[in-house]
């Protein structure tokens, strides 16, 4: 993997991780995200925001684990790839669930 791709993975993974931590801690999306980030959501409740935060954390951890897997030993890299796959599936599942939760009728 080239250094540019690894650097890009660190930037994207770090941004997703930071956004996820912010959402989990605050329980609300910032105002400037309304147009750009909330298009799949209908009603944003604190529960939906927390679930979206955990989804961002899972996806960010997945990207970072893939980025780190190329610079460590083979055994550790294999474990990181396995961790990345699990984190990706969990993050994607939480994203789909929170989107469904924001669209269901109460």
pLDDT at 70: 84
Distance from C-alpha of 34 to C-alpha of 58, rounded to nearest angstrom: 22
Q: Residue 93: pLDDT above 80? A: yes
pLDDT confidence of 1, banded at 50, 70, 90? low
The stretch 47-75 carries a mean pLDDT of 93
Enter the tokens of residue 96: 């789909």
CA torsion 56-84-70-3 (nearest 10°) is -20
Domain layout of the chain by residue ranges: 3-28+42-103
Of 43, 40, 44, 46, residue with least CA distance to 92? 40
Q: Residue 105: pLDDT above 80? A: no
The stretch 41-67 carries a mean pLDDT of 93
pTM here?
0.89
Distance from C-alpha of 49 to C-alpha of 5, rounded to nearest angstrom: 30
């Amino acid at each position: 993997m080239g250094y540019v791709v690894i650097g890009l993975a660190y930037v994207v993974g770090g941004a997703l991780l930071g956004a996820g931590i912010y959402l989990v801690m605050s329980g609300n999306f910032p105002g400037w995200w309304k147009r750009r980030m909330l298009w799949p959501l209908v009603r944003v409740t604190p529960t939906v925001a927390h679930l979206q935060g955990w989804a961002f954390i899972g996806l960010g951890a997945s990207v970072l684990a893939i980025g780190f897997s190329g610079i460590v030993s083979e055994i550790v890299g294999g474990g990181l790839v396995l961790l990345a796959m699990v984190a990706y599936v969990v993050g994607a599942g939480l994203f789909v669930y929170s989107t469904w939760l924001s669209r269901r009728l109460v």
